[in-house]
Amino acid sequence: MEIDVSAWTVIRDEPGGRDKNKRWIAEDADAPRDQHWLWKYRQTTGDGSEAALTDCAEVFTSCLAAAIDLPAAECRFAILDGEPGVISRNVTPHGFNLNTGTTYLPEVEGYQRRPSVGSDPDGGRMRLDEGYTLDSIEQVLEHVEAPPGVSDLSAFAVFAGYLVLDALVGNGDRHPGNWAIMERQSDGARFLAPTYDHGSALGAGLTDDNRRDKDPVAFARRGRANPFSPRKQLLVDLALQAVRRSGADLWVARVAALDEVAIRGTLEAPQGRLSEVASTFMEQVVLENQRRLCHGDAAEDR
C-alpha cells in the first residue's frame, strides 16, 4: 500500500544528509508532532543510472523491526506529485527534544570526532570518528532509559537490538548521527529514541545488473559496521558482541522465530517499486543474515 501525500501540509524542510528535498509533512497543519512524517524521495544508484531502492529499504526494515517488537520509526511507501518515495513517522513525542549521538559522544574519554574531508561537508563525516565503540555508546547510555513503552530492558540492551536489526538487513550506516536520545523538557530525563534511517540497508544502492552479478549470500557475509572502531568489523560480530554484553538474547531469539513466510511478508512493495531480481536478492540477504545471527558463525566469513 502507498499513500499519496501530495495534498499534505509542509511543516518544514529538513536540511543535511545525502537526501535532498527532505521535508516534514502532515495531513493537517495542526497535527501534533508525533503525526508529522519525514518525506524522502528515492535516491539514485552510485552511477546515477537507476533509482536506488532506499524507499524499500526503509519500509522493509521498519516492518522487520515491528516483527521482532523493536522500537523503530514507522515507514510507509508514499507518492508526492507523482514521484515515489517514503514517509517516516516522527519518533519524538510532544514535550521532548531529540539529540543525536554526536551531541553526547564527545563527553566520553577517547572519542574524537575528526574534521570533514573533501568538498562535500557531509561526505564521510561520521566514518572518521575515533573511539566510536560499544564501550563509548554504553557509557553514553548508562543513565539513559529505554524508549518509552519498553520495560525490563536497559537502553544499551535496546541499542543491541538496533545492531541485531542492522546485521539482519546489512545496514552498515549506524554512525553517531543515526541514533538519538530524547530529553524530556519538563525534567531533563533521557530516553533512547526508536531506531530510524535505514535507507542504506539491503543493498538498496545496487543496480539490478549488480544484483544479477552478485551472490546474495556472499554479499551478506561482507556486511561491515563501517563507522565503528576497530574498522572492518562484521555487522553480525558486532551485534552478537552487543547482545552478550547487554544480556539481550531476546533479539536473536525473536529473529530466529521468524520463518520464511513471515520474512517474505515484510518485503512486499507496491507494483512497480521492486523488480523480481531485487526482491529475490533482498530476501536471500535477510535469510542468510538470519542464519548467521542465529548460528553465531560470522567468524567463518573472514
pTM over 0.75? The answer is yes
Q: How far lies 231's CA from each of 6, 77, 174, 221, in Å?
A: 43, 34, 13, 16
How confident is the model over 89-126, as pLDDT tens digits?
A: 999 999 999 999 999 999 999 998 876 554 444 444 44
- 3-state class percentages of the chain: helix first, strand second, coil last, to nearest 5: 40, 15, 45
In order of start, what are the domains of the chain with their CATH numbers? 2-89 (3.30.200), 96-301 (1.10.1070.20)
How confident is the model over 187-200, as pLDDT tens digits?
A: 999 999 999 999 99
DSSP string spanning 55-80?
A: HHHHHHHHHHHHHTT--B--EEEEEE
Q: What is the DSSP letter of 276?
A: H
Please state, in angstroms and rounded to a whole number, the distance separating the CA atoms of residues 291 and 81.
41
Residue 184 grid coordinates: 524530556
CB proximity list for 276: less than 8 A, separation 6 or greater: none
**According to the model, what pLDDT value does residue 128 have?**
65
**According to the model, what pLDDT value does residue 113 have?**
83
Residue 254 grid coordinates: 525473536
**According to the model, what pLDDT value does residue 50 have?**
81
Question: How many C-alpha atoms does 78 have within 13 Å on its Cβ side?
Answer: 24
Residue 198 grid coordinates: 535505514
Q: How many residues does the chain have?
A: 302
Please state, in angstroms and rounded to a whole number, the distance separating the CA atoms of residues 117 and 137.
24
Average pLDDT score over residue span 79-87: 96
Is pLDDT above 80 for 8? yes
Average pLDDT score over residue span 83-88: 96
How confident is the model over 230-277, as pLDDT tens digits?
A: 989 999 999 999 999 999 999 999 999 999 999 999 999 999 999 999
Q: What are phi and psi of 57, to 5 degrees?
A: -60, -40
Average pLDDT score over residue span 171-192: 96
Please state, in angstroms and rounded to a whole number, the distance separating the CA atoms of residues 216 and 222.
10
For the chain, the average pLDDT equals 91
Residue 262: how many CB atoms within 10 A of its CB? 12
- The answer to whether residues 302 and 182 touch, using CB atoms and an 8 Å cutoff, is no
Average pLDDT score over residue span 23-49: 90
Is pLDDT above 60 for 299? no
Please state, in angstroms and rounded to a whole number, the distance separating the CA atoms of residues 286 and 265.
12
